[in-house]
Amino acid sequence: MASAPIIVLANAEIRDEFIMEGMQRLRRGASAGDVAEFIACAVEDDPEEHTVGYGGWPNILGEVELDASFMDGATLRAGAVAGLKGFRHPISVARQVMLRLPHVLLAGEGAARFAIEIGAERRDMLSPEARAAWQQRIAEVVQHEEEDAITLTVRALVERRGSDTMNVIVRDGVGDICSAVSTSGIAWKYPGRVGDSPLIGAGNYCANRYGAATCMGLGEAAIRVGAAAQAVMLMRLGWSLEAAGREVVCQLSTLLGESNAADHMRRADWVRILLMDAAGNVGAFATRPGLSYKVQTADDPWPITREVVCPA
């Protein structure tokens, strides 16, 4: 029997070397889950990636609050953390939520308590560069010393500093698919803001039998259309990957067009969705042109960068 196609599908911002090392592990027989976690951890450690892990942009108070989720397509088990502070690898904590608890999502203090109990490595996640950028932004938006966090957040968010996200979908040699998502969320967000990344169904969904989807960009939009689960459910209903991606992005575009009138979303105005179907076909779709993604199969010596489809 021919083995299943081995694939790593990732957002274009992930370094080739991380994807290539992940592929090497898959060729040697590693599981999709282990490789998805490995790649996510590598990105979380990268100080130059300012929307994931160490060095991620902080919230309006200067605290790095991290969201992550992990889903196993063979069993539909999932784990996630939201607003986790002070731990090196949110994705690993998310995976352990899946493996050790009868829950899917832990937030804030509970997530931190769990991270301590499992011995997760602590780290101050605010890099000097991220601290300096935050201090500069605060200096730009503060007009009176007594202003509250609501006022400051709304003013600060008019400048978009990314809600890019670490997205990886991995298919291993036995045909299992796992998806991992990790982010520091929108820069200068209101404390406690949770995006789509830790919400199974919004920013992450994965089922061996139908396919997988992960999102990046404005989490509020992905949440409101249930983007990841909806794309996979359309494939479950027999839609092609291309048709499912276009349909979800059209819904997101409509929503964003309406939301762009509202001040709080004026600059954070796109969503990109990565898709893999049950046969291992891949694609990516976005509400604006000019974005790309990376894919590597077992036959490729390195990841190939492809343009996303932007339905007109």
Footprint on this chain of ligand GLY (rule: CB under 6 A):
163, 165, 183, 185-186, 195-197, 203, 216-219
**Cβ at position 216, least distance to ligand GLY in Å:** 5
Reduce the DSSP state of residue 57 to 3 states and report it.
coil
Reduce the DSSP state of residue 234 to 3 states and report it.
helix
**Cβ at position 161, least distance to ligand GLY in Å:** 12
Structure tokens at 279: 């046969």
Task: Kindly tell me which of 115 and 228 has the beta carbon lying closer to ligand GLY.
Answer: 228
C-beta atoms surrounding 277 within 10 Å: 21
Task: Kindly tell me which of 195 and 283 has the beta carbon lying closer to ligand GLY.
Answer: 195
Please say if 165 is a catalytic residue: yes
Task: Kindly tell me which of 13 and 196 has the beta carbon lying closer to ligand GLY.
Answer: 196
Structure tokens at 97: 């939520």
Task: Kindly tell me which of 216 and 232 has the beta carbon lying closer to ligand GLY.
Answer: 216
**Cβ at position 215, least distance to ligand GLY in Å:** 6
168, β-bridge pairs: 10, 180
Task: Kindly tell me which of 6 and 273 has the beta carbon lying closer to ligand GLY.
Answer: 273
Q: What angle do CA 257, 57, 87 make, to 5 degrees?
A: 125
**Cβ at position 196, least distance to ligand GLY in Å:** 5
Residue 266 burial (10 A CB sphere; 0-12, 13-18, 19+): middle
Q: Which residue in 165, 183, 214, 287 is the catalytic one?
A: 165
For residue 262, CA distances in Å to 16, 202, 253, 258, 267 come to 37, 21, 15, 8, 10
**Cβ at position 186, least distance to ligand GLY in Å:** 6
CA pair distance 243, 284, nearest whole angstrom: 11
At 16, the amino acid letter reads D
Structure tokens at 291: 């974005």
Active site residue ranges: 165
